[in-house]
Amino acid sequence: MTYKILVTPRSFGKHSQRPMQLLKEKGFHVKKNPYGKILTEDQMIEQVKDVDGVIIGVDPLNQKVLQHANKLKAISKYGVGLDNIDLDYTKKHNIAVSIASDTNTDAVADYTFALMMAAARRVAHIDKECRKLNWEKITTIDISNKTLGLIGLGNIGKKVSRRAQGFDMEVLAYDLNPDYEYSRNNGISYVDSLEEILKKSDFISLHLPLNAHTNHIIGSHQFDIMKSNSVIVNTARGGLIDEQALFNALQYNKIWGAGIDVFESEPPKNTEMLNMENIVVGSHCAASTVEAIDNMGITASKNIIGNLLR
């Protein structure tokens, strides 16, 4: 039997032929994203009608889309976040769902720290001024010996905590499923509430899935209780931060700055934010390294092969 696979991530197989080879070695027919961008609901509906499997990025696989995928047997996430997939629907219809676990953790942790440093030291703003031949010294803030608060201490949060050790940072963590053994062995202190971590931290980094409980977990109230010289970083999911509240916090200097790689809409709807000097913006590219892309592609291919041929 020949299986038909839809592959939506634009970077799939970009640097290595191995992800595509794995599929073709099994005789799979591969249909790639024909639009060169994240697909809309209507485009996904059009593409999923005749496929047995999907290797999915951040494109929508909600009920509206999935109810048109009558042949679909397996979904392989190109990454780990599942908030764009209706898991209740897939469970009800026996559609296997897999993730490419631990394929991009180092890449995301590196980029998290890059955003943290860039926001603290105003790297983008200084670069912009230098290109205009403005050599005025711009004063910024230190990272070393500060307090880092991790909201979510999963695989990526743990990697970020290890990088913080090199900067002699005190690391705090807030997680509903604490890993006490890891925290004891790595000098991390758990706090009892979200408010506590926001009040005590100089740098705050989000590492959570997006769901009904975490949507807008950071809003106006949370920005009000943060330190005025704090930096917030989000490389996890757009929607964790209320973007209007973030805009207000940056506009009125309630916090020092932000490093944001993920937005609720990409590009963000509030384009005024893109002109602010105290935010560093990414294009949802924290996991976009050559190595991580290769790892995600190979694992995503292996996962869908395993689920279709089992």
DSSP 4-33: EEEE--TTTTSS-SHHHHHHHHTT-EEEE-
- Active-site entry in 122, 125, 207, 237: 237
Active-site residue, selected from the candidate residues 122, 125, 207, 284: 284
- Tell me whether residue 131 is one of the annotated catalytic residues: no
Residues 6+ apart with CB under 8 A from 75: 53, 54, 56, 61, 85, 90, 95, 96, 97, 98, 304
Per-residue burial over 189-219, b if 16 or more Cβ lie within 10 Å, else e, is: ebbeeeeebbebbbbbbbbbebeeebebbbb
Please give the single-letter amino acid code of residue 130. Answer: C
Give yes or no: 237 in active site: yes
Q: Which of 266, 272, 277, 310 is catalytic?
A: 266
Catalytic residue flag (residue 284): yes
| Half-sphere exposure in the Cβ direction for 67 (13 Å, CA) | 5
- Angstrom distance (rounded) from CA 159 to CA 137: 33
Cβ 229 vs Cβ 201: under 8 Å: no
Please give the positions annotated as active site.
237, 266, 284
